[in-house]
Amino acid sequence: MSNSVEGEGWQRVHPAEHLRSGYTSVDSLLPDADWFWWSLQRFCVPDCCGLDAYDLSAESVAWACGWGTVRPASSDRRDEKPGDPRELAVALRTAAQQIRALDATCVSASLFNHILVPESCAGLLEDLADKAEPETISADPGQS
Ligand SMILES: [Zn+2]
């Protein structure tokens, strides 16, 4: 098992060291979904470990959203009443667009405690949106 927070669809990119002294907070842009963020903090808490506190695997996100059936090995906690994962996915994608539109060299949020370049942060949110949406049965299983 890997504890990497990077999925197939997302790579974290840290700003150059000399740019990290200041960053733009994106707290206000992130979806207000405590149930989601809290459930994903399976390894630790962001105040201690930054993004490494989160299990951002597809299984972990699906489990947090209430429709996943695979219990994440890291921790199987989730909110008893998860929010609507489709609404969450829309909000995550909206936030990603807003973060891309920022005039900023680096961004962070208290939820992440992890400074990233805006494109990386936006990519993270889009990756989460993809994983949060319930899977639909493929109409043409021959394609992948
Ligand atoms: Zn920690």
* Per-residue model confidence as pLDDT tens digits over 44-82: 999 999 999 999 999 999 999 999 999 999 999 999 999
- What distance in angstroms lies between residue 74's CA and the mean position of ligand 1's atoms? 14
Q: Does residue 2 lie within any of the structural domains?
A: no
pLDDT single digits (tens) 82-140: 999 999 999 999 999 999 999 999 999 999 999 999 999 999 999 999 999 997 655 55
Please give the pLDDT value at position 18.
Answer: 66
pTM of the predicted protein model: 0.84
Which among 109, 122, 111 has a CA at the least distance from the CA of 23?
109
Residue 141 lies in a domain: no
Three-state SS sequence of 14-71? CCCHHHCCCCEECHHHCCCCHHHHHHHCCCCCHHHHHHHHCCCCHHHHHHHCCCCCCC
Number of domains in the chain: 1
Give the environment of ion ligand 1: residues with CB less than 5 A: 44, 48-49
Ligand 1: distance of its center to the CA of 114 in Å? 13
Domain that holds residue 78: 17-132
CA of 138 to the centre of ligand 1 (A): 39
Instruction: Report how far ligand 1's centroid is from the alpha carbon of 40 (Å).
Output: 14
Give the residue with greater pLDDT, 130 vs 2.
Answer: 130
| Stated length of the chain | 144
